[in-house]
Amino acid sequence: MAQETTFYENLCNKEGLDLRDNRGKRHNLPLVLLAIMMAMMRHRDGSLSSLHRSLKNNHDKLCEALSIDNDGFVSRSHLPRLLAKVNRKVFEDLLFEYCGVELSADEKKWFAGDGKELRGSIKKGDKRGEVSVQIVSHEDGAIAGQAFYNGTKESEKPCLQQLVEQTGIRTQKLTADALHLHPAMTETIHSTGGIFLIGLKENQQELLEDMIDHTNAFRPVAEAITLDKGHGRSEIRKYSCFDVSGEYFDVRWRRSGFLTLFRVIRTRNILKTNASSEETSFYISNGSAENAPEFFTAIRNHWSIEVNNHYRDVSLKEDQLRTTIKSVNRVLANMRTLVLKLFQRWKPENMVAQMHLFQDDFDCLIRKLREISFL
């Protein structure tokens, strides 16, 4: 039986990864990328200087562990210039070869699509910067796809639509915010046998008004109530499913296959002050009302992508890292995607505590990476 090739070996052998001119190459790019990802695993993200210090302090140990020549480490000033020479498309392909999600047409899975701004990329005088768009599995938080756009020039809608097509998620089940309720998205998913469940708000005013009228005129075909307590508050969610297969829809929606409407009434109560608030949300889908309980769960689980964003912001300190070099922001974001995948494999009880252990014991990190054929 042939020995399994490690991620680092594939990184070293990947053609087209390094965009530098071969003349005058000094630093080992795959080694630098590996060292930065290991720095992220050691809770050193948040600034290029912090990542570089980890790279510098552990360079000798890493070279020894990999049994490679120690030709010195990259300087802090040269680090962003080196990262800018990474072929991001090639790196992304390798990343998702290693940690991608397997899709099956027979057993469709639920995924959530959404965008997250990289706040450290916002230039002075601008209101928007680089935005990472991700598709995340409801089941385990695994990232099925990632793309980027610049918020000052481009829009999230075509970016997510293109990602849905490229990753094959259009044949699966997708939840998304109301921003993505438009014919180009719904037709793409419906025509390929996929299922969508997308928020319905004022950005589609006429459709929203028609659907509210439907809820006032007809009884729901299925209902459910849930109660959640935590963080000093309680939340009651009342789910209702309506069959809208017989409704008239504007010509622009005819090929979207709308079948069901979902209404969620959330009543929140702050336990300490007893202050309460109520919010009503609507979602529309091409799925059958017979599967209403599954859709109720999918609406709740859409927040899996927010959990993923929380890990990136709080555990990995993504928003704290400030650089206006687009290519550097995007390469580092891809690295965080891979780092999160590794922690999902390890399943530590406390992610930050595991990072602190790696800080104190570099050899422990080396052992853990070898266990999963990363090194």
Domain ranges of the chain: 7-96+327-371, 100-310
Return the structure tokens found at 356: 């602190």
Give how far the C-alpha of residue 298 lies from the chain's centroid of Cα atoms, to the nearest Å.
16
At residue 2, the pLDDT reads: 43
Structure tokens at 144: 């099925």
Any idea which residue has 């008239």 for tokens?
248
- Extract the residue ranges of the chain whose pLDDT is less than 50: 1-3
Q: Which amino acid is at 287?
A: G
Cβ-based neighbours of 320, under 8 Å, separated by 6 or more? 45, 46, 47, 120
- Return the structure tokens found at 258: 């709308």
Per-residue model confidence (pLDDT) at position 133: 94
Q: What is the pLDDT of residue 301?
A: 92
Structure confidence at residue 357 (pLDDT)? 97
Instruction: List, for residues 193-225, the tens digit of each pLDDT value.
Output: 999 999 999 999 999 999 999 999 999 999 999
Residue 104's Cβ-count burial label (10 Å; 0-12, 13-18, 19+) is exposed
The first and second tokens of residue 58, run together, are 């552990």
Q: For residue 120, which of 71, 49, 225, 30 has the smallest C-alpha distance?
A: 49
